[in-house]
Amino acid sequence: MATPKKGQGISFRIPGGDSLPPPAPAGGPMAEGPAPVPRQALPKTGIGLLSRVIANAQEDSDEVRRLHAEVDRLKLQVGEQLIDPRLIRLTRWADRHPDSFTNAAFLELKQEIESAGGNVQPVKLRPIRGAPADGSAPRFELIFGSRRTRACLELGLPVRAVVEEDVSDQALYVQMQRENRGRANLSAWEQGVSYHRALREGLFPSARKLAEVIGLDHSNVSKALRVADLPEEVVAAFASPCDIQFRWAVALDKAHQAAPDALRAAARQLARQSPRPAPGEVFRMLMDAATARPAAVAVAVAGAVDLKVALAGGRSVTVRLGKGGTATVELPRGSLSRPQLDAFCAGLKRLLDDLAGGAAG
């Protein structure tokens, strides 16, 4: 027996007579719509012929728009539904940072969905047990497709989705991770935070087991965890946590272990800058601050001597010793706030008092 082709066996009426059955309601507010318009009966046909009829009609007519919507409904794959995004809640395992819904990649995706009239690739959901059927609360939990769902929500469009029953938390997490790698991959920080949450809540007994189940090399999971373990000050030095790259994870972690105070101080200084330097420049400045060692270097300048003392963040203080024995301390412009300058002066006074007391003894 010949295998029926896609679209065979689907029937409808061309505009003008009997009304088409309205699309099956997805449930919730967006399922409501205007009553179908009476249409005149014409011979039954398939999706291809309907599409050609539409192409020959005037594109700006209401009837053509209704026909386009009917074609989309007929093209829904087996098991797919159109669901109001307001009936979908994020899972507690959601791993997207808010910046993932404002960046250029998301805006491009949103534009594509708007142009297509909906998301072409379906998201996946699992039902929420005991949820009210009247649409007063979410009825579905997102397994994957948070960016597509968010785009449809902002555009006021229903979400094309597949609903899967009896999905465990671990299965949800694994599907979410694998799906994300096939699309706009998560940043190192997003992945690290997600892995920490999964381990903390007991989805996996160890990072090695987590890597094995989601199909990643253990070293990549380890790097992501190191990024998520960075101090808040270091993460805040970047304009977005999503800017931190995998290849910086080990270096930043080692820098924090070797010189935590210098690294944090440089990070706090960078966080105050506006606009923030590019991510690569932030990384370089943090590393320079962590690897710098306070040192005095004597330089002869026109009969005087300059002592340059390295500071965190790649700057230095100059102590200028004149011919007559006068000493001048020169700080880089803007390197210290007023409270910091007051603290510096107080500390310098204590140091000088200590030195003077030692000399007298």
**CB-based contact 112:155 (threshold 8 Å):** no
Where is 310: in which H helix or E strand?
A: strand 304-310
Mean pLDDT to the nearest integer, 133-162: 91
296 pLDDT above the threshold of 50: no
118 pLDDT above the threshold of 80: yes
30-46 pLDDT tens trace: 444 344 434 444 344 45
Sorting pLDDT into bands at 50, 70 and 90, what band is 333? low
Sorting pLDDT into bands at 50, 70 and 90, what band is 340? confident
Measured CA to CA, the distance from residue 147 to residue 164 in angstroms comes to 19
190-238 pLDDT tens trace: 889 889 989 998 999 999 999 999 888 999 899 999 999 999 999 999 9
Measured CA to CA, the distance from residue 114 to residue 152 in angstroms comes to 8
Measured CA to CA, the distance from residue 147 to residue 95 in angstroms comes to 11
158-177 pLDDT tens trace: 999 999 988 999 999 999 88
294 pLDDT above the threshold of 70: no
Measured CA to CA, the distance from residue 26 to residue 87 in angstroms comes to 10
What pLDDT is recorded for position 302? 47
Report cis status (omega within 30 of 0) of the bond before 275: yes
